[in-house]
């Protein structure tokens, strides 16, 4: 284990416009490791791809990390001693290092065209052997280079990888991993157009930023030999590596991908989550693309009103466990318990149902005022209350949130209770509910009767309301449940919701009366 004070870890996202769950999980493990060791957590931006090199593509990543409380000590917006933390601004440094690799004989100019490489690859495939570049257009002398250039060729720079022996890596998660050098390609590190590739840039940055531990997704394990080769060729200390299992899709071991929505929607829990999101987005007029507004991306959870602590707790367990029993960890507990040694080797499947269970758990821990504060912004966005909400609206919301209990699983679920906010004379009725529960003369008679008795009630509260409903149902010979449904549709416009007495108590007598009148007056279509 490195000396605690020297622990420096990083994540290195490309600015892709959205924060993927897999990346956040990697970020979280890096962050926990850094904080545990009183080290530094660095955010570096791998923006060598010019199409993606745009600020608005980075913003959602920074925002998502902040929302989850994964703060970085060096990087965009906070700066640091090794600035700039953007690869696009470090090309001069990469140029120097490429020159040094060439001088040391660890890299060479290669004048092959892409077609020639493709041909060699094809031939290898046809012969069912591993493709290894023949180095036919490698120029090691000025004369060779001149000859190729005379043909109009432009050089890329490739690593000159060893072709025998093996590399052993002691991975902090996977243990001993062996690679045979003869299976490693001469990776291009600088393209013929002068741009630099990830493998070079990442090693230079990891060295220059004094990264002690590279904790990253498993898909980079196969990249490690050529990166270690660069470190060693330059005489630089090699960081420790820890390759984390992939975050897999629901019910399989394949990597969770934003491009497989159709497949994931066949999973009922995933579909439910998407539906919940769609409902909330519709209600608050949220226009956002499926690229970011789907459960593979963190933005989805923030927008629909998940609690960051629920997501952090869930993600912590997506590839790590303390003892196969303990599920709930506060941030402090995670900081005490997390260790790379207990990161599992196998892919961890994203389970929307389990995530929801964490969300519900953390919602239950909140006080009423905290929940009200969480839901109010959704009501503002839906145009159901003023901005800022007035005391009457806040009080109404308090009552609704209290009565709803654990029905409000994410903050945005408050939009299920729109009917309370709509002005009484503008209440609309669900067509099917109205046909079923307000369609007959008998049902309307019940509404009228109830209305009359309600206006005469001495005390207006839940118990009295319950008594009144029971009285009428006994006297008129209708089932209590049926009478309640009729009245529910009359005062809320819908056949679903929490207890009728609760609903009416929240609305208050005047609003109930106004709504009962409206139900009686509105012509049935």
Active site residue 354: no
Residue 31 or 362 with smaller CB distance to ligand GLU: 31
Q: How far apart are CA 121 and CA 132, in angstroms?
A: 8
Task: Write down the least CB distance from residue 361 to ligand GLU, Å.
Answer: 31
Residue 12 or 101 with smaller CB distance to ligand GLU: 12
Task: Write down the least CB distance from residue 241 to ligand GLU, Å.
Answer: 10
Annotated catalytic residue, options 258, 263, 381, 399: 258
Residue 230 or 500 with smaller CB distance to ligand GLU: 230
Task: Write down the least CB distance from residue 70 to ligand GLU, Å.
Answer: 15
Residues that bind ligand GLU (CB under 6 A): 12-14, 46, 202, 216, 220
Query: Is residue 425 a contact partner of residue 518, using CB atoms and an 8 Å limit?
Result: yes
Cis amide bond preceding 84, omega within 30: yes
Q: How far is CA 374 from the centre of its chain?
A: 19
Task: Write down the least CB distance from residue 311 to ligand GLU, Å.
Answer: 20
Q: How far apart are CA 339 and CA 322, in angstroms?
A: 8
- Structure-block tokens of residue 330: 């506060």
Question: SS3 letters for 117-178?
Answer: HHHHHHHHHHCCCCCCCCCCCEECCHHHHHHHHHCCCCCEEEECCCCCCEEEEEECCCEEEE
Task: Write down the least CB distance from residue 233 to ligand GLU, Å.
Answer: 18
Residue 64 or 305 with smaller CB distance to ligand GLU: 64
Residue 46 or 502 with smaller CB distance to ligand GLU: 46
Q: How many CA atoms lie within 13 A of 368 on its CB side?
A: 12
Burial class from Cβ neighbours inside 10 Å (0-12, 13-18, 19+) for residue 100 reads middle
Residue 46 or 351 with smaller CB distance to ligand GLU: 46
Question: SS3 letters for 326-395?
Answer: CCCCCHHHHHHHCCHHHECCCCEECCHHHHHHHHHHHHHCCCHHHHHHHHHHHHHHCCCCCCCCCHHHHH
Q: How far apart are CA 208 and CA 44, in angstroms?
A: 12
- Structure-block tokens of residue 87: 């690869």
Task: Write down the least CB distance from residue 261 to ligand GLU, Å.
Answer: 21
- Structure-block tokens of residue 116: 């020639």
**Axis-axis angle for helices 509-521, 480-492 (nearest 10):** 90
Residues carrying an active site annotation: 258
């Amino acid at each position: 284990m490195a000396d605690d004070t020297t622990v420096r870890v990083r994540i290195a996202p490309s600015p892709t416009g959205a924060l993927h769950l897999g990346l956040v999980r990697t970020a979280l493990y890096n962050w926990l490791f850094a904080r545990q060791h009183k080290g530094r957590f660095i955010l570096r931006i791998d923006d060598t791809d010019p199409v993606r090199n745009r600020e608005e593509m980075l913003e959602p990543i920074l925002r998502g990390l902040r929302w989850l409380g994964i703060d970085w000590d060096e990087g965009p917006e906070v700066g640091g001693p090794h600035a700039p933390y953007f690869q696009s601004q470090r090309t001069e440094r990469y140029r120097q290092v490429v020159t040094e690799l060439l001088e040391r004989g660890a890299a060479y100019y290669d004048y092959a065209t892409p077609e020639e490489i493709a041909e060699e690859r094809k031939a290898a495939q046809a012969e069912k052997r591993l493709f290894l570049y023949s180095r036919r257009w490698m120029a090691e002398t000025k004369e060779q280079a001149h000859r190729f250039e005379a043909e109009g060729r432009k050089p890329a720079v490739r690593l000159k990888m060893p072709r025998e022996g093996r590399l052993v890596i002691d991975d902090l998660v996977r243990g001993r991993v062996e690679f045979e050098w003869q299976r490693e390609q001469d990776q291009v590190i600088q393209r013929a157009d002068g741009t630099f590739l990830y493998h070079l840039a990442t090693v230079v940055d990891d060295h220059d930023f004094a990264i002690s531990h590279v904790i990253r997704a498993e898909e980079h394990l196969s990249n490690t030999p050529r990166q270690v080769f660069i470190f060693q060729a330059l005489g630089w200390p090699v960081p420790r590596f820890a390759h984390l299992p992939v975050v897999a899709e629901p019910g399989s071991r394949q990597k969770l991908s934003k491009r497989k929505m159709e497949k994931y929607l066949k999973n009922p829990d995933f579909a439910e989550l998407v539906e919940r999101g769609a409902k909330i987005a519709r209600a608050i007029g949220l226009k956002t693309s499926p690229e970011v507004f789907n459960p593979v991306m963190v933005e989805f959870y923030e927008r629909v009103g998940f609690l960051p602590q629920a997501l952090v707790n869930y993600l912590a367990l997506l590839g790590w466990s303390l003892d196969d029993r303990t599920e709930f960890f506060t941030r402090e507990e995670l900081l005490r318990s997390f260790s790379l040694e207990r990161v599992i080797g196998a892919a961890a499947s994203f389970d929307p149902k389990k995530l929801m269970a964490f969300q519900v758990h953390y919602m239950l821990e909140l006080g009423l005022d905290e929940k009200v504060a969480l839901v109010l912004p959704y009501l503002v966005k839906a145009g159901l209350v003023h901005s800022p909400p007035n005391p009457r609206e806040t009080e109404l919301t308090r009552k609704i949130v209290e009565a709803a209990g654990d029905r409000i699983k994410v903050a945005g679920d408050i939009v299920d209770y729109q009917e309370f906010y709509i002005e009484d004379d503008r209440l609309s009725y669900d067509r099917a509910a109205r046909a079923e529960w307000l369609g007959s003369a008998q049902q309307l008679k019940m509404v009228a009767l109830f209305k009359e008795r309600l206006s005469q009630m001495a005390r207006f509260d839940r118990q009295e309301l319950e008594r009144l409903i029971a009285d009428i149902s006994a006297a008129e010979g209708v089932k209590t449940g049926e009478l309640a449904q009729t009245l529910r549709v009359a005062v809320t416009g819908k056949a679903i919701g929490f207890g009728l007495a609760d609903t009416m108590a929240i609305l208050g007598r005047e609003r109930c009366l106004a709504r009962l009148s409206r139900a009686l007056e509105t012509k049935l279509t």
